[in-house]
Each structure stands twice: as C-alpha cells, then as structure tokens.
Amino acid sequence: MSGRKLTIGLFGFGVVGEGIYNVLQQASSLQATIKKICIKHPGKKRAADPNLFTTDAEALLNDPGINLIVELIDDADDAFIIVSTALRNGKDVVSANKKMIAEHLPDLLALQAEHGTSLLYEASVCGSIPIIRNLEEYYDNDLLDSITGIVNGSTNFILTKMAEDGLAYKDALLQAQQLGFAESNPTLDVDGYDALNKLTILLAHTYGVAARPTSLLFKGISQLHPTDATYAATRGYKIKLAAQVRRMGRGQVAAQVLPQFVKPDSQLFGVRNEYNGVIIESHLADQQFLYGKGAGRYPTSSAVLSDIAALRYQYKYEYRKLHSPEKYSVTQDYYLNVYVSFNNWSEVSKWDFESIDEFHSTQERQYLAGTIHVEKLMRADWFQSPAVSLIVMPDGLVRKDAIALKSIKKISLQLGGIFE
C-alpha cells in the first residue's frame, strides 16, 4: 500500500483526541503516528505515554518532523491561531472546530492557497456523515439545487422528546442535558449558532460562498411553545431545526437555519433523537439522503480518521464552486411561508406580512400562517424575540418570481376586525 507516512502533532486530548490516539495505535495500515500531544492542563492523569504530552504549542508547530496537525480543542480563537500557524509552517491540518472554520473561512482559504497546505474538517459538519467530501467530490457538476439538513443533534434530540413524549421545551432540554446530548450552557445549540456555523461551511462547499455566519437568516428552537407542538401534531408534521441552502435563481442562493415543519414524506421526518440527516437535491440525481450520527466521541473520531487517511494521499478540498466562472451570492430577496405564534399582537407587526392565510386566537396563545419577504423578516424587531415563535411551512421557500402568481392580499377583510 502506498501513501506517505504521517507524523502527527495532536492538540487536545478530550474524548475525541483520546479516541484518535487509541485507534491509531491499532490501525497500523494508516501509517500515522502521534509524535506529540499538546494539552492545557498537565496535571491530569491521561491514558497514554506521559512523554508524549507537552503544554508548549510551539514544540509541535515548529517541529519539522511533524507534517500533520490534528486540532481537537474547544476554544475557537486558540484553534485559529494553531491552525493558521500550522498551515503557514507547511503542515496539513485536520480540525473539527466548526465555529473556528465558519468564522475564518476566507482566511483559511487564503492560507491554504498561499502555502499549498491542506485543511480538512469533515468532522465539523454532521460528524460521521461524509457530507463535505461528497459535496466536494461527487456533487461538483453545477447541477445542485439544494441541500437541507438536520445538522445539530442536541436540538434534534430536544425536538424529538417534545414531539414523541409531549415534553415542554424546558423539560426536553433538561433530559438532553442529563443524557449528555446538550451542554450545561446550551445557547450555542438551542439558539441556532452551531447549526449556523455548519450552514456557513456547507454554503462554501455547495455554492462557493464564504459568508459571515451572523449575516445569514437564523433562529433557534428555545422559543418554541406548546401551541406549536399541537399545531404540528394535528397536521401530522414534525418540527425540525433545518439548515438549508437553495439555489433561488441565477447566481443567487438562499441560506437559512430555521425551525421547519416537516411532512412524513420527507426523509428528515424520520431523523430522530441525536441523529443528523441531509437531503441533497440535484438536477440529475434527484433527491439523495445521507444519515448518521452527527456528534459524539466515535462519530467525530470516524470523520477525523477519514481525513487523516485522505491526507496520506495529499487530498485537499478543491472548493471548485469558489473558482467557477459562475459566482453565487446569498440573497434575501425571496419569500417564506411561515407559521408564527405569540402572546398578543403587540409583539408582531401584521403589516410585515404579504398575506395572512390563517389566524387563530385563544387566551393562551395566538398564531398566524402567512407569507413574508425575507428582508422584512430579518429587519423585524419581533423576529428574534424569545416570546415569538416562527416555523417555516413545508416547502416554505418561495422564489420572488413565483410569488407574483399568488394574489397578494394584504391582511384579509375577514381577519381585519380582530387585528384592529
């Protein structure tokens, strides 16, 4: 078997780092050995040769004998310093740090190009599911229509418990925390930031757009109300937090992370608990679906290992869409069919909607179903309010040219009386 010999400098010895260490001890066919491991707290007892450990990052980054840095630490800022230094020093890098990658994508692209080094990060999106590799290698022929995924296991676990066991959001979150599927500070997950980082990475590999994560449309699940669950249940829907990239016309893509109603005929309907799943739509292949564990020790280790294996053959992402003559940019010039629930009308401006198709009011909660322009939605004060819940309807993305066909009815007469 061919392939070059890899000598690894490992940053971080948490569950994934230790997993990689153990597997590399066994998987001799990979021809990869760990030369040094950089850790933060030297005092801890660790199940590996003590001579491997150091707290001196430079000892790894400046060692010419090390040709691969595997970065598995939590802190995104420290991670960026490590990764960018390594790339500059001519070392290839494997990282699982989605926050770092999403926030520094343009810099990381430039560093790879300048120094001819390769940065792989399959573990950063959907854990063990080889979504980035497939987008790079297999869906690179200009025919991609959309990609829609459940990319955050914590929120999917919570949403599954809410739907299947009738738990309120708070109780479902607590259970997720107890079982280790959510952090003690769950904000990054439940408010959508983690999914947003993954969306940003997918956007680069689907349409070659390197966007700032927080410039994109997103909302998490922490504001979901029991009324929303009832609405979903009576219609046979499930609520999922969906990350979506969709071509909306020549050179334009929609990119969003939003709660979404999913019907039973969607492959996402059956993605339960901590699992992830991604639907890829293309002109030729029609609909494809990739499914697996999105996080956790072994799934993450699996993706990191596959990246290490690929680097034996000097594999690098080509980012072909980024260098393609047809450039894409993110558009907010499209419409969404949405369900919105709230406590009273003072919280939501009805005039933001192009049309309202359904309205329901009880003492407990009010909701409407209607169509809204995305620019208007992103500017609306109420959109990010924790008292307001917004869920995209199934097939809720509407291209601008399609909306003209719909008769646009500003707040219909029958409903008028209630609103004033």
250 lines the binding site for its own copies (CB under 8 A): no
Tokens 């596959």 sit at which residue? 306
Residue from 50, 325, 386, 417 touching its own copies (CB under 8 A): that is 325
Q: Which residue has the tokens 């940019």?
A: 329
Told to check if 81 binds its own copies by CB under 8 A, we report: no
C-beta of 208 vs 259, nearer to its own copies: 208
* Residue 179 vs 408, nearer CB to its own copies: 179
Residue 40 appears among annotated catalytic residues = no
Q: Does 387 bind its own copies (CB under 8 A)?
A: no
Q: Is 324 in the site for its own copies (CB under 8 A)?
A: yes
CA-to-CA distance for 305 and 402, rounded, in angstroms? 45
- Does residue 164 bind its own copies (CB under 8 A)? no
Residue-wise DSSP of 217-275: EE--STT--HHHHHHHHHHT-EEEEEEEEEEEETTEEEEEEEEEEE-TTSGGGG--TTE
Site string for its own copies, 1-40 (x = CB under 8 A): x-----------------x---x---x-xx----------
Q: How far apart are the C-alpha atoms of 210 and 101, rounded to whole Å?
A: 11
Nearer to its own copies by C-beta: 275 or 335?
275
Distance (Å, whole) CA 347 – CA 327:
39
**Kind of pairing between the strands at 53-54 and 32-38:** parallel
How many angstroms separate the CA atoms of 359 and 371, rounded? 12
Q: Which is nearer to its own copies, 286 or 364 (CB)?
A: 286
Q: Is 298 in the site for its own copies (CB under 8 A)?
A: yes
CB 340 within 8 A of CB 388: yes
Nearer to its own copies, 31 or 384 (CB): 31
Provide CB contacts within 8 A for 415, sequence distance 6+: 356, 359
Stretch 265-284: interaction string toward its own copies, x if CB under 8 A:
--x--x-----------xxx
Q: How far is residue 124's CA from residue 206's CA, in Å, rounded to a whole number?
A: 15
With CB under 8 A as the contact rule, the residue among 9, 12, 130, 149 that binds its own copies is 130
Give the residue, chosen from 160, 301, 332, 371, that forms a contact with its own copies under the rule CB under 8 A.
301
What values do phi and psi take at 265, rounded to 5? -80, 0
- Name the active-site residue from 98, 99, 198, 240: 198
User: What are the catalytic residues?
Assistant: 198
Per CB under 8 A, residues contacting its own copies are 1, 19, 23, 27, 29-30, 127-130, 133-134, 137-143, 267, 270, 282-293, 298-299, 301-303, 305-306, 309-310, 320, 323-325
